[in-house]
Structure 1
């Protein structure tokens, strides 16, 4: 296992960037289409569920300190069954990398370069990410620190300039949503991004201290920022426009102008999105490579990283278009992620509890 260490602040930045970076672009439109003016409330429910799931992961990690989810699976369930569970987690990490790669391809093709083939975007982005993965988790953490500051300042600048288009009339008819229907229709937000953060079970061993506090605070901050972004999108674009745009934040940047000096900031937003996707893809990609190396006891991750470029790039072409990608996420992402984020960790905790209880009984002297 890699002997590198990351600080609590770096872990916080990685978690927050993973949760909030791409969510700003892909989530608000879908939420607004379902919950209308009340869409900004939904992230709070999802964030609460995310914190509950995080407490399960932290409990599991504390029972087996210094171990990743791959090692925990084999420790609790034994080599045959535990190895199978570990392999399932690796396939999930790879599939998550595929989703992220396809998202960057769809975004670039739909907004910036419609003629360029998707494979070009996938290959170029994966090569850069693979280089970061080969360099290790410390390189990814340091890169995220720099990119996080740039992304935060850019968002604040664009939000401030877009306030000129704010209209409180867009919130007329608030607090009328059907709570249960909204929960069912927006359940995918539980999977993306909050339940996806289970990948950090691979990174807990690298953190020097205070994992729980840093992880929980990152989820809370991501929840607040996602709600604020959705609220801001409604106030600027209105429900009708925001719900019909795939990337409403990109549309806001297109329409921002201050005189004739600041205009057409969509290219800046595109760069910020690429930076956010880079951080998220680097984490998922790194966990995929690290999981394979741990499961099969591979000492060097270089060739594993290179080989995954071809696999991820090929699997990312599994959707015909961006609509099919969004449709899959809305219908199946929550159930698919729930298996890995809740069911298997709870099962591991249950088996661990049973084994410890059985061990204590055997150690008790005969009366």
Structure 2
């Protein structure tokens, strides 16, 4: 069942921006640079355009069913049988996405900070915090995000200005030599992660106070994400260079790791690790909340607390599906875009088509009765 929470348009924008930008800012930059070299900063721009076009499709669908989540839309459009099956697939995706985010956290912590700690310890400890936030509801998540967002912003700005001392324009030599079609094909995964993942935010539409401003807020979050990702890639190339950035899984972490101010401020990587935990909290809390809320809506469950606790074991178990971080990277690069097509494009377009068919039949019945 749906809660009676309400969030402002600004809070929805912060949630959308944190959800889209957070983990992608840490995990996507090095991979993009390895493919497109000095031209990698262009990739987020055309991926952002694709993201805006997808948002328009989702907004169009949501306008036909105001006050409903994607789970409720499935049932209204396709019925309890087929629609309920598609809704269950969506819930399965929310759970899988939560597992992928959890694994990203575990890989980062184990590789960079605590290599001797079992990865499952990071998963369970963080999921317990997420479970508590989800139990408290979407208002608590949005207020926490609103409170933490300025801290993340100030930290990134500080990193940017300090690291500019290592900037070298010579690292951009060789720009505009890429094969556009080949590069778009090889970097299609950026459309999947993060821009296609944004359809998850349709689960939050009913809680936004001003329904008329959701469209502007959602599109603006996608545009800002694309611009900041492009700036992040451009910044990384200028500071680390193409060769080095291409071989670093966490290029932003490496930049911070090597930053120092005199002999007093050194080893600032713990700061960026804290920021990563914050942005993962934002994204994981949203995807986990959508999984729990979707189950409650589909099976008419009033109390989501036990569902939240139960999903910890499932998400933690699924997050161990990859043997190592390389398998995770290969899955994301080779298969994630096609995987996302079903949920972000095919199903929404199918629902739009079925909605237009139903409305066409209703119009013909009205015309027939008047005649």
Q: TM-score range by the shorter chain?
A: over 0.9
CA distance in 1, matches of 2:133, 2:345: 30
Tell me the equivalent position of 2:320: 317
Tell me the equivalent position of 2:173: 172
Match of 1:272 among 272, 275, 293: 275
The alignment yields a C-alpha RMSD, in angstroms, of: 0.7
Unaligned runs of 5+ in 2: none
1:343-354 matches, cutoff 5 A: 343-354=346-357
If the length of structure 1 is used for normalisation, what is the TM-score? 0.99
Q: Does 1:136 align with 2:137?
A: yes
Unaligned runs of 5+ in 1: none
Tell me the equivalent position of 2:309: 306
Encode CA deviations 1:227-264: one digit per residue, 9 max, x unaligned. Answer: 00000000000000000000000000011111112211
Tell me the equivalent position of 1:248: 251
Q: Does 1:72 align with 2:73?
A: yes
CA distance in 2, matches of 1:197, 1:31: 20
1:1-367 matches, cutoff 5 A: 1-209=2-210, 210-365=213-368, 367=371
Q: Secondary structure at the match of 1:337?
A: helix
Q: Secondary structure at the match of 1:365?
A: helix
Encode CA deviations 1:62-112: one digit per residue, 9 max, x unaligned. Answer: 110000001101001111011001001000100100100000000000000
- How far residue 365 of structure 1 moved from its aligned partner, in angstroms, is 3.0
Encode CA deviations 1:264-305: one digit per residue, 9 max, x unaligned. Answer: 111100110010000000000000000000000000000000
CA distance in 2, matches of 1:260, 1:136: 45
Q: Secondary structure at the match of 1:246?
A: coil
CA distance in 1, matches of 2:147, 2:67: 27
Encode CA deviations 1:106-139: one digit per residue, 9 max, x unaligned. Answer: 0000000011001100000000000000000000
If the length of structure 2 is used for normalisation, what is the TM-score? 0.98
CA distance in 1, matches of 2:298, 2:334: 31
Q: Secondary structure at the match of 1:298?
A: coil
Q: Secondary structure at the match of 1:22?
A: helix
Q: Secondary structure at the match of 1:105?
A: helix
Q: How many pairs were matched up?
A: 367
Encode CA deviations 1:195-250: one digit per residue, 9 max, x unaligned. Answer: 00110110000001110011111111111100000000000000000000000000
